[in-house]
Amino acid sequence: MIDHTGITVSDFEVSKSFYDKAMAPLGASLLYVVPPQFTGGVKVGGYGRERPTFWMHEGNKPQDRQHVAFTARSRAEVDGFHAAALAAGGKDNGAPGLRPHYHPNYYGAFVIDPDGNNMEAVCHEFEPAKG
């Protein structure tokens, strides 16, 4: 239903550094930076796997925190997103794990980005217990 979404970031380069690292375990990267002549000089870039689906643009720090959940293809990607985001300076807002109160196979992790937004990676695939 949603084709793409975006957030405002207060410092494009700081956020770019954070998202470059956090998105890598999800197989996503910065795919496009809009030329400044089309944005009035505002820095705008889009992340995704095959096409940009998560956009950020530089502006005044938003007063309201945003929440975005990124689709992970496995629980290992969720774990990797969480670890990479923390290593990139994010703050833990919920370690990787099952969240059965949302859905029986809901496996997610939450981090706070440099602007205070709640970012999540979630996998809905069933993975049997190991051992």
Strand 67-71 to 44-48 pairing: unpaired
Q: Is the pTM of this model over 0.75?
A: yes
pLDDT value at residue 102? 87
Inside any domain, residue 75? yes
pLDDT value at residue 129? 64
Q: What is the DSSP string of 10-66?
A: S-HHHHHHHHHHHHGGGT-EEEEE--GGGTTT--EEEEESSS--EEEEE-SPPSSPP
CATH number for 71: 3.10.180.10
pLDDT value at residue 48? 98
pLDDT value at residue 131? 59
Residue 49 structural domain? 5-123
Which residues of the chain, if any, have pLDDT below 70? Answer: 129-131
Inside any domain, residue 128? no
Inside any domain, residue 53? yes
pLDDT value at residue 127? 75
pLDDT value at residue 130? 66
pLDDT value at residue 61? 78
Inside any domain, residue 55? yes
- The count of domains in the chain is 1
**Residue 117: how many CB atoms within 10 A of its CB?**
21
Inside any domain, residue 131? no
Inside any domain, residue 57? yes
Among 68, 77, 63, which Cα is nearest to 10's?
A: 63
